[in-house]
């Protein structure tokens, strides 16, 4: 069983060098480190939904992260309160799940419940985790990740190092890191290494915080218990020792319990925000939204419980619209949409809180892997409804498709230029002048990190770290910087 004393350990991978007495907890100090970091500020020019949008209304990765941070902290606070209130019932449930031979008086196997002080730490960790959960995402949103994966799928067998294809030079895990490139794994890499402050430990954030942001505790070659591959990965080969240390220090057997709350906060934030941003960009009308809700009601009429829930959702939408007109509010449709989405957020938060409590024993035993919002039929239907609306009216819109094509061109072109230069960089092969200049463009911070990581490694690993050097560099770019660099290098 997991233990909150370990799960909330106030320790960093490298012990803090501060000698000034602090009233703040280590997790509160994390917050300050994140807020003042350049990596966090860069999120203001990274895509959430609409790439390179001139409007100051639609969300960026920065504003999305602030919203997730707020929701995650609220969830942590509410869950902490309920855990203490229902501690007796939860411990009875846990005892009942044990075998008859289990010693119920054994403290070492008791169900851990966070104390009042630990509840504060839970809120602080989730506040910070929300801020950095997307910090490793490349430019142009998730399409940037897709482009990087597709580029390596096309080129690992085509590009050569010393006469042999890269696919024959790299181990399976090294290849899979690029073929399954993931912003979540890049976030751990950035926070623990790339964001240079004083040494090779990056921001040197607390161990529980780093563990919380790993929503997918798998490498690129791991398989689930049923033999299938996980949908996403949480760490690269380069961070496997870091991941192992997080697991050891926190006593993990699977995900950190707080990662479930972070995941839910992220899902709630983007599911509702995408709808609001799409409406403000005139991708659909309120009447189209009402029609989609009514259609969902018809599709689920055979399930009385779901049909009744969706009817309440629809009625709330109609009541808000009537209220907006009756109060003579300017733009009553937008008033309706905003307040309806706030209402949906509160519902989804309640379902998340209950799902965590209901599955608490399984979570603390490491047996639970299902997203919290997928455990309740109501929240599952609601999240899917919002996702379907976003897919139909927003992600398939001409503007998004055009920008995705542009993003593919920008990132693919940068990889076309930088990867061939990196392959022979720092070897006995003389680089042509143009490729020397390309490697000189790469951030000095990332190049110095490469030299630290590659020192004393095998030729295979050094090649792997040279390829990572370029994905590090491109992932750290903002949308505007990537576009500008592409234009400069293309002679535009």
Using one digit for the tens of pLDDT, what is the confidence trace for 331-364?
Answer: 899 999 999 999 999 999 999 999 999 999 999 9
Instruction: List the one residue out of 349, 350, 371, 347 whose CA is nearest residue 359.
Output: 371
Number of folded domains in the chain?
2
Residue 106 has pLDDT above 50, yes or no: no
pLDDT at site 50? 62
Mean pLDDT of all residues in 41-57: 72
Task: Give dist(CA 24, CA 279) in Å, integer.
Answer: 42
Question: Average pLDDT, whole number, for the chain?
Answer: 91
Residues 174 and 230 in one domain: yes
Other beta carbons within 10 Å of 371:
16
Mean pLDDT of all residues in 133-159: 94
Mean pLDDT of all residues in 144-152: 95
Residues 220 and 359 in one domain: no
Q: Are 14 and 201 in contact (CB under 8 A)?
A: yes
Residue where a domain stops, chosen among 368, 396, 424 = 396
406 in a structural domain: no
Q: Minimum mean pLDDT among 64-78, 162-176, 343-357, 394-408: which range? A: 394-408
53 in a structural domain: yes
Supply the DSSP string of 297-337, one letter for each residue.
Answer: HHHTTTSHHHHHHHHHHHHHHHHHHHHHHHTT-SSHHHHHH
272 in a structural domain: no
Instruction: List the one residue out of 197, 173, 196, 169 whose CA is nearest residue 185.
Output: 173
pLDDT at site 101? 43
Residues 298 and 224 in one domain: no
Residues 217 and 300 in one domain: no
Residues above pLDDT 70, as percent of the chain? 93
Residue where a domain stops, chosen among 258, 292, 321 = 258
What is the tens place of the pLDDT at every residue in 176-214?
999 999 999 999 999 999 987 666 777 889 999 999 999
478 in a structural domain: no
Residues above pLDDT 90, as percent of the chain? 77
Residues 288 and 362 in one domain: yes
pLDDT at site 225? 78
Q: Minimum mean pLDDT among 8-17, 100-109, 398-407, 442-451: which range? A: 100-109
Residues 305 and 218 in one domain: no
Residues 191 and 312 in one domain: no
DSSP strands (E only) in 141-251? 160-161, 164-165
Q: Give ∠ CA 205-210-212 in degrees, rounded to 5.
A: 135
Residue 128 has pLDDT above 70, yes or no: yes
pLDDT at site 404? 83
Residues 295 and 229 in one domain: no
pLDDT at site 201? 73
238 in a structural domain: yes
452 in a structural domain: no
> Binning pLDDT at 50, 70 and 90, where does residue 105 land?
very low
Mean pLDDT of all residues in 423-447: 94
Domain range for residue 200? 4-103+113-258
Residues 209 and 65 in one domain: yes
Residue 108 has pLDDT above 50, yes or no: no
CATH number of the domain that 218 lies in?
Answer: 1.10.3210.10
Q: Are 94 and 2 in contact (CB under 8 A)?
A: no
What is the tens place of the pLDDT at every residue in 275-285?
998 898 889 99
> Binning pLDDT at 50, 70 and 90, where does residue 408 land?
very high
Residues 321 and 248 in one domain: no
Instruction: List the one residue out of 193, 234, 19, 203 whose CA is nearest residue 128.
Output: 203
Q: Minimum mean pLDDT among 13-22, 119-128, 207-216, 349-358: which range? A: 13-22
pLDDT at site 142? 84
Q: At what angle do helices 257-280 and 116-132 cross, to 10 degrees?
A: 50
403 in a structural domain: no
Q: What values do phi and psi take at 363, rounded to 5?
A: -65, -45
Residue where a domain stops, chosen among 396, 415, 430 = 396
Residues 92 and 218 in one domain: yes
Residues 180 and 323 in one domain: no
Q: Is 6 exposed, middle or buried (0-12, 13-18, 19+ CB in 10 A)?
A: middle
Task: Give dist(CA 442, CA 425) in Å, integer.
Answer: 12
Mean pLDDT of all residues in 367-377: 94
């Amino acid at each position: 069983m997991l233990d909150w004393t370990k799960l909330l350990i106030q320790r960093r991978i490298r012990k803090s060098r501060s000698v000034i007495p602090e009233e703040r907890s280590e997790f509160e100090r994390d917050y300050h480190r994140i807020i003042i970091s350049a990596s966090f500020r860069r999120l203001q020019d990274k895509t959430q939904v609409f790439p390179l949008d001139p409007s100051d209304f639609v969300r960026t990765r920065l504003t999305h992260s602030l919203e997730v941070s707020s929701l995650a902290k609220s969830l942590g606070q509410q869950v902490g309160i309920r855990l203490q209130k229902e501690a007796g019932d939860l411990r009875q449930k846990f005892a009942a799940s044990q075998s008859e031979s289990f010693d119920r008086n054994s403290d070492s196997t008791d169900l851990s419940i966070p104390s009042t002080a630990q509840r504060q730490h839970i809120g602080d960790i989730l506040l910070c985790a929300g801020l950095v959960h997307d910090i490793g995402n490349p430019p142009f949103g998730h399409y940037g990740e897709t482009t990087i994966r597709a580029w390596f799928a096309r080129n690992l067998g085509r590009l050569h190092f010393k006469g042999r294809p890269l696919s024959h030079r790299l181990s399976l895990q090294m290849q899979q890191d690029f073929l399954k490139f993931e912003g979540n794994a890049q976030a751990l890499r950035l926070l623990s290494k790339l964001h240079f402050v004083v040494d090779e430990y990056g921001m040197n954030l607390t161990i529980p915080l780093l563990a919380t942001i790993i929503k997918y505790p798998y490498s690129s070659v791991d398989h689930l218990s049923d033999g299938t591959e996980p949908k996403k990965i949480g760490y690269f080969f380069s961070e496997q020792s870091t991941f192992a240390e997080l697991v050891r220090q926190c006593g993990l057997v699977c995900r950190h319990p707080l990662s479930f709350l972070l995941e839910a906060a992220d899902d709630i934030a983007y599911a509702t925000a995408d709808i609001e941003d799409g409406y403000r960009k005139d991708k659909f009308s309120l009447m189209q939204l009402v029609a989609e809700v009514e259609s969902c009601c018809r599709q689920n009429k055979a399930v009385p419980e779901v049909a009744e829930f969706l009817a309440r959702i629809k009625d709330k939408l109609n009541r808000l619209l009537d209220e907006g007109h009756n109060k003579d509010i300017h733009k009553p449709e937008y008033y309706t949409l905003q307040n309806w989405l706030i209402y949906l957020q509160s519902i989804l938060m309640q379902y998340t809180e209950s799902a965590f409590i209901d599955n608490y024993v399984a979570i603390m035993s490491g047996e639970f892997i299902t997203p919290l919002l997928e455990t309740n039929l109501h929240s599952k239907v609601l999240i899917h409804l919002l996702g379907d609306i976003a897919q139909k009216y927003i992600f398939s819109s001409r503007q998004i498709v055009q920008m995705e094509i542009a993003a593919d061109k920008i990132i693919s072109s940068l990889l076309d230029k930088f990867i061939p230069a990196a392959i022979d960089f720092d070897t006995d092969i003389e680089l042509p002048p143009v490729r020397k200049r390309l490697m000189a463009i790469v951030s000095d911070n990332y190049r110095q990190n490469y030299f630290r990581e590659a020192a004393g490694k095998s030729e295979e690993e050094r090649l792997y770290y040279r390829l990572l050097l370029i994905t590090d560099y491109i992932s750290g770019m903002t949308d505007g910087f990537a576009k500008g660099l592409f234009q400069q290098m293309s002679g535009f």
